[in-house]
Structure 1
Amino acid sequence: MNQTRPKPQRGVQSLETGGAILRELARAGQPVKLRDLAEAVGVVPSQLHPYLVSLRTIRMVEQTETGLYALGPFALELGLVRLRAQDAWRETMRRLPALADEVQLMVAVSVWGLHGPVIVFVHDSPTRIHANVRVGGMFTVTGTATGRLFAAFMPRATVQPLVAQELPDPDRQAAYWAEVARVAEAGFETTLDLPIPGVSAVAAPVFDHTGAMQLAVTVIGPTPQIDLSPEGPTVRATRAFTAQLSADLGHLAGAL
């Protein structure tokens, strides 16, 4: 049976050009010259000017006293509406099946609770693993990738009591916080055969528009099936997933 391909929908070219203008203004992050904006959009300044007139009329674009162009107040209003409508949990649940399908491993979602990282969702993998990862369970702060990830991006005063409880020795605490600093710089964390031999994991954070860490996404599986190198497929897939989700929640990379 032949399947009819859907016909490409016809759009409005002028609206797409207007969107390209707004995208370049957002990318610039500061007021820009007409000439530079035209070059970024790919049109000559004389063609760009009428679009800017219309965008100024609806307050999507504003012009400074020095003649530079920037996003206007209505663009800010739309952005705030978008941010308020976003929910890290809802968006994670909606997108998680795609990540699980790509990595073919267990994926756990954790949030910070009263006593540390709490597992709030688990997507089982096709391959059975011997790891006690279940909804309502806890990750230790010092012995897991997820725990060290939260320590890297949560306020230290919030995490320190749990660290002191798990590592009473001050020297071990100092070594732990040095390791956490490395995690913060890398932006993700991995564990090899820990805390369960034969099981490894990679964890990456999801941030909101304020820069606060909302949750952790942890991919877990048999050690032979996880390449923990930074450019390995599991790490790349996990980081790409959380980076895109954070960006869609309004987080600006490098804002921390």
Structure 2
Amino acid sequence: MEPSEIRNAEHRTVSRAMGILEAVVANEPQGLRLGDLAEQVKAPKSSIHGLAKGLVATGYLREHQGRYYEGPGIALLAPGRMRLPANAHRILERLSLEADETAILAARVGESVINVDVVESSQVIRATPVLNQRRPLWPTSYGKIFLAFMDEAKSDAYVRRNFPDPERQEAVMAELAEIRKTGIAFNRAESMPGLLGLSGPIIGEDGVTFAIGVVGPSERMRGRDAELMPIVAAAAADISIPLTA
């Protein structure tokens, strides 16, 4: 293939990927089927299918019942665009007040997690999370929630890929099983020394759509599991109700 042909193919791929994104954004909230995408982008279904799957894998689109919708990754391109549950910020404020620590709402973007809303604690020394910045799923408590409740084959593949040691794989899978049982995930200073966090799943039409929790200095958070777990679980349930109604 001549260099000019390679460049043209690369440009066509970029144009089609951006065309898919633009079409989906323009057709929210009803979404688009693969055939609709192919028609709008004016490309064969076979070409569009792989690109759409890639955009789902990286979090820029999400697929539900054969339709493609905006994914949480869109928030990285246009902060503030993500549609959050109407009562989420109010419940974050309540959670922060009850726990006396910083409360966070997070979303999964491919194999990353991003903070989409934060209510900081009034404490002088507190956690100050950054919004709309990719972080790895493991070992964040929010990422552990998404891993625990995602499709089992995808979760297992992530664990095998990121933890090649068999003993470590077994430990991670055991922790994910415990999270599915309790509905609460912990990050005990695994991401950042001196910070401890816990979170719970928010259930929507597509399964676990967000995670909510609290984070704070280990000195204040340590030993409060029995107090904080029901508070976080209640906050998650309160946001889940309108999403599943």
- Find 1:157's aligned residue among 148, 153, 159: 153
1:141/1:163 contact within 8 Å kept: no
2:101/2:126 contact within 8 Å kept: no
Structure 2 length-normalised TM: 0.58
Q: Which residue of 2 aligns with 1:140?
A: 136
Q: Which residue of 2 aligns with 1:241?
A: 235
Q: Aligned to 1:90, what secondary structure does the other structure show?
A: coil
Q: Does 1:220 align with 2:215?
A: yes
- Find 1:206's aligned residue among 189, 202, 209: 202
Structure 1 ranges of 4+ moved more than 6 A: none
Cα separation, 2, equivalents of 1:125 and 1:112:
24
Q: Does 1:166 align with 2:145?
A: no
Q: Aligned to 2:103, what secondary structure does the other structure show?
A: strand
Letter of the aligned partner of 1:222 in structure 2?
P
Residues 169 and 227 of structure 1, relative CA distance in 2, 3 Å threshold: closer
Q: Aligned to 1:118, what secondary structure does the other structure show?
A: strand
Deviations 1:104-129 (A, max 9, x none): 21112111102322221222222355
Cα separation, 2, equivalents of 1:183 and 1:160:
15
Cα separation, 1, equivalents of 2:155 and 2:120:
29
Among the aligned pairs, what percent are the same residue?
Answer: 23
Q: Which runs of 5+ in 1 are unaligned?
A: 1-86, 252-256
Q: CA deviation at 1:193?
A: 2.9
- Find 2:105's aligned residue among 102, 109, 118: 109
Cα separation, 1, equivalents of 2:159 and 2:134:
14
1:228/1:235 contact within 8 Å kept: no
Q: Aligned to 2:191, what secondary structure does the other structure show?
A: coil
Q: Which runs of 5+ in 2 are unaligned?
A: 1-82
Letter of the aligned partner of 1:198 in structure 2?
G
2:196/2:222 contact within 8 Å kept: no
Larger Rg: 1
Cα separation, 2, equivalents of 1:162 and 1:141:
10
Q: Which residue of 2 aligns with 1:78?
A: none
Q: Aligned to 2:145, what secondary structure does the other structure show?
A: helix
Q: Give the alignment's Cα RMSD to 1 decimal.
A: 2.6
Cα separation, 1, equivalents of 2:188 and 2:161:
23
Q: Aligned to 1:143, what secondary structure does the other structure show?
A: coil
Letter of the aligned partner of 1:215 in structure 2?
F
Q: Aligned to 2:86, what secondary structure does the other structure show?
A: helix
Higher share in strand: 2
Q: CA deviation at 1:163?
A: 3.0
Letter of the aligned partner of 2:239 in structure 1?
L
Cα separation, 1, equivalents of 2:203 and 2:197:
20
Q: Aligned to 1:249, what secondary structure does the other structure show?
A: helix
Letter of the aligned partner of 1:175 in structure 2?
A
1:1-256 residue pairs with structure 2 within 5 A? 89-129=85-125, 133-208=129-204, 210=205, 212-226=207-221, 229-232=224-227, 234-250=228-244
